[in-house]
Structure 1
Amino acid sequence: MTAPADIRPDILCIGSVLWDVIGRSASHMAKGSDVPGRIVTIPGGVALNIAMTLARFGLRPALLSAVGRDPEGDHLVAECDGLGLDTSYLYRSDDLKTDRYMAVEGANGLIAAIADAHSLEEAGAKILRPLGDGRLATEDSPFDGAVALDGNLTEQLLDEIATGPLFRAADLRVAPASPGKAERLLPFLRAGRGTLYVNLEEAGILCLARFESAEAAATALLGRGAARAVVTHGGNETCDASAEGHLVRRPPEVMVTRVTGAGDTFMAAHIAAERAGASREDALVRAQSAAAAYVSGDHPT
């Protein structure tokens, strides 16, 4: 969807925009399980999940990512347009396939997942062209709004974002996408930039330690250089830590029916609340409530 030139996006969502293939079963699953369930194919990827949630909160997000010019990519862009997302800045290539993510979820949570985001990684810095060529900003007049990033970008590109001129005025909000990509957030620790949204496992990987609580993990992340860390721990307490102090709160108790996308929903709701002027405490409450509603199935996919 091409936005009019005088309409500036409220936030940029940079990272994975792909198809999610999710298999869900109400059964407890282990290695080798073969159980009945449902398989759905839906628009997904961390950046896209965040953008969809932001749009539900009335914001105008723009997507910066790589999407192939294959039938799957055309369909995905059409779906994004229908959701009110700005797709005019996407990097579309004839040489790259549209990325996919596949996950299996059981009653005992996420069993396994594979992220095929190779096209995004191959596109590299090409996805950031609108921030230097005048469409969104230039190096002399950098983008000064909110930016949601995910760890499906390469560490080299994330390092350029953390330290380079294109994002020096931006409000960076960063998520690793998965524990397997948590180390890609190290440039933001070294640069002391951005707000990091991580779970307890991801915080442990970044700090080379094991933690029993979100507050302990958030404290360690600040010690490693993070400007601000928001650490979740499933149904246990969440901690929002910065130089302004630590805020700790337990989320609502709900019946969990799905998990893929819960962290993205939390992050988007938190960003939307703060952009609306909510206090740190109110923003955390709203984010936890949105994530609880999502995992319980009360919010749309």
Structure 2
Amino acid sequence: MTLREKEILSMIKKNPMISQQEIADYLGITRSSVAVHISNLTKKGYIKGKGYVLNEEAYVTVIGGANVDIQGFSLCKLKLNDSNPGIVKVSAGGVGRNIAENLSRLGAKTKLISAFGEDLYGDKISYECRSAGIDIDNCLVLKNLPSSSYLSVLDENGDMKVAISDMDIIDYLNIDFIKAKAHIIENSSAIVIDTNLSQDLIEYLLSNFRYKDFFIDTVSTAKANKVKDLIGYFHTIKPNIYETEELTGIKIIDNKDIEKAAEILLNKGLKRIFITLGERGVFYKDEYTQKYVSSPNVKVVNATGAGDAFMAGLVYSYINDMKIDDAIHFSMYAAEMALSHENTINPNISAENIFKKMRSE
């Protein structure tokens, strides 16, 4: 948004009934110039419809990977180097996309910025996103490249044992493309990114929208390295033990190591850190508080979507101004719902269902 556009938008916010001529007279420019600026503000999404109705409906923007998940579930004890009887399922996935779907199902208006192809997988991604209520109008759709895919094998306990990701298309989600989406990012209540994005793009987002609150999913130890020197620009981060080790260089053996690692990251400028501890629960730390919170008891059916649901819970809690204790429990129950369903995303996840669980504690 240009400085002149900011001036005009500010005047309209104060007086939605102001005329173009009144704006022109006040700013000392022509009415036709005002008309051009208002037209640009409308195109950028700051104003909608006639009468200068301001578009201020809150939403979250998620920028990250979208792909098709092909998951193999072993029905018996998994045997390596052998064929295992089981079930194979195909669904839309990707860390960014999964977080977006969880957010949408929780009731948060959500926009996804990702990349996929004009192919069968791309059609499935598009269909499942729209069915879940995700706004994908700002995604990059490419004709000559295949959509991303993720192939994983889960053991008899629902734990992922090995996976292969083919996500080259995400590299086409570059700075030039994101520049055209600046108005979407600027108007977001919160922004979630994952480390499937290129390091250049992550740096661009953090440096050009420094005043926005960014949440980061580190995805894996290898990809967490991309943000090792950028941690201070984030509001909230959710690494596991191994990703925390990668970010800090500290070998984590006991609780003292966890607390020391969290302190190091906070000292870099990070506002909040949630270190997921698997069956042990989560460790939380900010400037004033630190605590361990145990996980609810749950039979694990599919462990692959728990982290995405937890992150969605954190973002939902943040945009709804929930107290930190409530935010942690809300997010953990979101993860529990993901763990207890065979799909990566539990179709029954909703804020209402989670609040019911919290009230029954």
What TM-score results when the alignment is normalised by the length of structure 1?
0.88
Q: Distance in 1 between matches of 2:66 and 2:177?
A: 12
**Letter aligned with residue 188 of structure 1:** L
- 1:28 to 2:72 alignment: no
Select the residue among 108, 116, 122 that pairs with 1:59.
108
Aligned residues: 290
Unpaired runs of 5+ in structure 2?
1-44, 49-54, 349-361
Question: Counterpart of 1:239 in 2: which secondary structure?
Answer: strand
Q: Going by fraction, where is helix more abundant, 1 or 2?
A: 2
Q: Distance in 1 between matches of 2:176 and 2:295?
A: 39
Shift in alpha-carbon separation, 1:33–1:250, aligned structure 2, 3 A: farther
Unpaired runs of 5+ in structure 1?
none
Q: Distance in 2 between matches of 1:105 and 1:170?
A: 37
Select the residue among 268, 287, 308 that pairs with 1:243.
287
Q: Distance in 1 between matches of 2:164 and 2:323?
A: 37
Q: Which moved more, 1:38-47 or 1:90-99?
A: 90-99
Superposed counterparts of 1:6-17, under 5 Å: 6=55, 8=57, 10-17=59-66
- 1:145 to 2:189 alignment: yes
Question: Counterpart of 1:16 in 2: which secondary structure?
Answer: coil
Q: Going by fraction, where is strand more abundant, 1 or 2?
A: 1
Contact 2:62-2:112 within 8 A present in 1 as well: yes
Contact 1:91-1:126 within 8 A present in 2 as well: no
Superposed counterparts of 1:198-237, under 5 Å: 198-212=239-253, 213=255, 214-223=258-267, 225-237=269-281
Select the residue among 307, 313, 333 that pairs with 1:269.
313
Structure exhibiting the larger radius of gyration computed from Cα positions: 2
Residue deviations 1:98-144 (CA, integer Å, cap 9, x gap): 11111111135210111211100233224423433x4x26xxxx345
Select the residue among 324, 328, 335 that pairs with 1:291.
335
Question: Once the 2 structures are TM-superposed, how far is the Cα of residue 267 of structure 1 from its aligned partner?
Answer: 0.6
What TM-score results when the alignment is normalised by the length of structure 2?
0.74
Shift in alpha-carbon separation, 1:269–1:26, aligned structure 2, 3 A: farther
Q: Which moved more, 1:44-53 or 1:243-252?
A: 243-252
Shift in alpha-carbon separation, 1:121–1:9, aligned structure 2, 3 A: farther
- 1:86 to 2:135 alignment: yes
Q: Which moved more, 1:70-79 or 1:217-226?
A: 217-226
Residue deviations 1:74-108 (CA, integer Å, cap 9, x gap): 33212211111101000112232211111111135
Q: Distance in 2 between matches of 1:7 and 1:84?
A: 19
Superposed counterparts of 1:188-207, under 5 Å: 188-189=230-231, 191-207=232-248
Contact 1:65-1:127 within 8 A present in 2 as well: no
- 1:118 to 2:168 alignment: yes
Contact 1:183-1:206 within 8 A present in 2 as well: yes
Shift in alpha-carbon separation, 1:207–1:51, aligned structure 2, 3 A: same
Contact 2:210-2:233 within 8 A present in 1 as well: no
Residue deviations 1:35-85 (CA, integer Å, cap 9, x gap): 211111101101111111111111111010111122321332122111111
- 1:72 to 2:121 alignment: yes
Contact 2:60-2:188 within 8 A present in 1 as well: no
**Letter aligned with residue 172 of structure 2:** E
RMSD: 2.3
Contact 1:143-1:169 within 8 A present in 2 as well: no
- 1:168 to 2:230 alignment: no
- Percent identity, aligned pairs only? 26
